[in-house]
Amino acid sequence: MKKIKPQLFSIPLNGLNQYYSIQTDDEFKPLLLYLHGGPGGANLAISSILDLKSKLTKHFSVVQYDQRGAGKSYNTSLSAEDLSIDYIVDDIKKLIAYLIEKHNQVKVYLVGQSFGTLLGLRLCREIPQFIYAYLSISQLIHLKESEMYCTQEALKIVEETRKPRVKTMLTQSLSLFEDEQYAEYIKLQRSALAKLGGFTFKRRPFNPNMLFIFSALSPLYSIKDAFNMKNGMLFSTDTLWNDIMKMNLFDESCHYEIPLYFITGLKDIIAPLHLVEKYLNSVTAPKKKLITFEKSGHLPHVEEKDLYEEKVIELFIHH
């Protein structure tokens, strides 16, 4: 498998200079647009290091995009009024239209992960004419319900691993949740999950700062960009989580005009399988399918990367 380096581009979207990369050996291959999680969890830099020999580039031009307020698309002049889910969705619509025209395409294939799944399904409802099919990784459904489930499951893991400091963090985060201080809740709770290993199948703890340090090694990022990645994540969390926590997809239209595919890790406590199953049973779509990854938590596209890439090609190309 040959190594294909991504190219970096800037684009003005709704008055803000933003950044995307494209990894391809033929700019007229079908476009696959990846919507990262977070919010603020930019993936452009990490992908430029880890995905140099991706199987996906055999079939697609793979686009990574640092969303408004994330990674290279963050800057200190942004105010809270400049960042909303509506703005991010509209940015992506304009990016899709631009990419389709530039690369002589009709539609794109769309992949979303975690927070990106909320954006992805909304785009599927609003611009189905520009999307061939949608693949969700760790689909968020009913945020208040899934977050309560997540914290309760994390407390069970704490009892098994005997980490009293993490138990205190989780208990404090529950108080913040009950007081509807959702941004502070999510920062404390996710920090506890990282110490607990709650994101992955193997329950391995990690230091979130390593993501920013690793991003600084990317040829597409400067040291300043890596700092901006961290600042953008904090800014996005503070600005968006109150609105995110109000989201419940069961209250929105469950009718889709394009194929929907869902990948869920069996040990994902953030986007649990039972909610994904319930939601998928409620939707109508030309095709719909749930695929479970047995050795994954919240990051199946990372934890079982080869299987993930095989599934993308199977679902999008060999369907």
Q: Give per-residue pLDDT as tens, 180-203.
A: 999 999 999 999 999 999 999 999
Is the omega angle on the peptide bond into residue 164 within 30 degrees of 0, that is, cis?
no
CA 172 from chain centre, in angstroms, equals 26
Contact 62, 92 (CB under 8 A): no
Residue 20: CB atoms within 10 Å: 24
The pTM is what? 0.97
Q: Per residue in 28-73, pLDDT tens? A: 999 999 999 999 999 999 999 999 999 999 999 999 999 999 999 9
pLDDT, residue 161, reads 82
Q: Which fold has domain 7-142+208-316?
A: Rossmann fold (3.40.50)
Residues 201, 210: Cα–Cα separation, whole Å: 19
Task: Yes or no: say if 120 and 110 are a contact pair by the CB < 8 Å rule.
Answer: yes
Provide the residue ranges of all domains of the chain, joining segments of one domain with +. Answer: 7-142+208-316, 145-196
| Mean pLDDT of the 223-245 span | 96
Residue 2 has pLDDT above 90, yes or no: no
- The Cα 225–Cα 208 span in angstroms is 16
